[in-house]
A and B are shown apart, each in its own frame.
Chain A
Amino acid sequence: MAATQQFDEPVKTVPLLEARGITKIFDTLKANDNVDFAIQKGEIHALLGENGAGKSTLVKILFGSLQANEGGVLWDSAPVTVRSPSEARELGIGMVFQHFSLFEALTVAENIALSFNAATPLENISTRTRDLSTQYGLPLDPDAVVGDLSVGERQRVEIIRCLMQDPRLIILDEPTSVLTPQEADTLFETLFRLRDEGRSVLYISHRLEEVQRLCSAATIMRHGQVVDACDPREETAGSLASKMVGAEIDEVVHRESAATDKVVLQLNNLNMPSTHPFAVALQNVNLQVNAGEVVGIAGIAGNGQGELFGAISGEDVAANADAVVIDGHVVGNLGISERRKIGGAFVPEERLGHGAVPALTLSDNMYLARHASDSDDFQSGGSLKVIAKNAIKSATKRVVEAMDVRKSAENPPAAALSGGNLQKFVVGRELDRKPVFLLVNQPTWGVDAGAATHIRQALIDLAASGSAVLMISQDLDEIFEVADRIAVMADGRLSQPEPTANMTRERVGLLMAGSSDNVDASGEAA
Chain B
Amino acid sequence: MDVWISIILSICAASTPLLLAATGELVVERSGVLNLGVEGMMIMGAVAGFATAQVTGNPYLGALVAMGAGALFSLLFAFLTLTLVANQVATGLALTILGIGLSGMIGEGFVGRPGIRMEALDIPILTDLPIIGKLIFGQDLIFYISIALVFGVYWFLFKTRAGLTLRSVGDNHTSAHALGINVIKVRYLAVLFGGACAGLAGAHLSLVYVPQWVEGMTAGRGWIALALVVFASWRPGRVLVGAYLFGTVTIGQFHAQAIGIAIPAQFLTSLPYIATIVVLVLIARNRRMTMLNTPASLGQSFVPDR
Contacts and interface: CB of A to CB of B under 8 A. Distances in A.
Contact of A67 (B161, B167, B306): B306
Contacts of A100: 175
B180 interface: yes
B95 to A, nearest CB: 26
Contacts of A67: 306
A144 interface: no
Contacts of B180: 64, 84-86
Nearest to A101: B175
Interface residues of B, number: 22
A102 B172 contact: yes
A106 B164 CA distance: 9
B169 to A, nearest CB: 9
A66 B172 contact: no
Contact of A85 (B165, B174, B179, B292): B179
A213 B97 CA distance: 64
Contacts of B296: 104-105
A518 interface: no
A504 interface: no
Given A86-B180, A103-B172, A104-B172, A66 B306 contact: yes
Contacts of B181: 114
Contacts, number: 57
B178 A276 contact: no
A103 B183 CA distance: 14
Interface string B146-179: 0000000000000001001101100110111011
Nearest to B306: A66
Interface in B165-206: 165, 167-168, 171-172, 174-176, 178-181
Contacts of B172: 101-104
Contacts of B291: 276-277
B178 A65 contact: yes
B175 A103 contact: yes
Contact of A114 (B164, B295, B305, B306): B164
A110 interface: yes
B305 to A, nearest CB: 8
A118 to B, nearest CB: 9
A442 to B, nearest CB: 21
B288 interface: yes
A115 B165 CA distance: 10
Interface in B286-306: 287-288, 291-292, 295-296, 305-306
Nearest to A100: B175
B161 A113 contact: yes
Interface string A97-141: 100111111100010011100010000000000000000000000
Nearest to A147: B292
B94 to A, nearest CB: 23
A277 B286 CA distance: 12
B184 to A, nearest CB: 14
Contacts of B179: 85-86, 101, 114-115
A85 B171 contact: no
B165 A114 contact: yes
Interface centre among B171, B176, B288 (most CB of A within 10 A): B171
B164 A277 contact: no
Nearest to B164: A110
Interface centre among A65, A100, A114 (most CB of B within 10 A): A114
B178 A103 contact: no
Interface in A450-509: none
Contacts of A84: 180
Nearest to A117: B180
Contacts of B164: 106, 110, 113-114
A458 B46 CA distance: 67
Nearest to A120: B161
Contacts of A65: 178
A119 B161 contact: yes
A84 B180 CA distance: 6
A101 B173 CA distance: 9
Contacts of B168: 103, 106, 110, 114
Interface string A76-109: 0000000011100000000001001111111000
A179 B133 CA distance: 64
A86 B182 CA distance: 12
A66 B180 CA distance: 11
Contacts of A97: 178
Nearest to A97: B178
A147 B288 CA distance: 13
Interface of B: 161, 164-165, 167-168, 171-172, 174-176, 178-181, 287-288, 291-292, 295-296, 305-306
7 closest A-B pairs by beta carbon, nearest first, are A101-B175, A85-B180, A101-B178, A86-B180, A103-B171, A105-B171, A84-B180
24 contacts: A64-B180, A66-B306, A84-B180, A85-B178, A85-B179, A97-B178, A100-B175, A101-B172, A101-B175, A102-B172, A102-B175, A103-B167, A104-B171, A104-B172, A105-B171, A105-B295, A106-B164, A110-B164, A114-B168, A114-B179, A114-B181, A276-B291, A277-B288, A277-B292
Given A85-B178, A85-B180, A101-B174, 14 more contacts: A65-B178, A66-B306, A86-B179, A101-B179, A103-B176, A104-B171, A104-B296, A105-B167, A105-B296, A106-B164, A106-B168, A114-B179, A114-B181, A276-B288
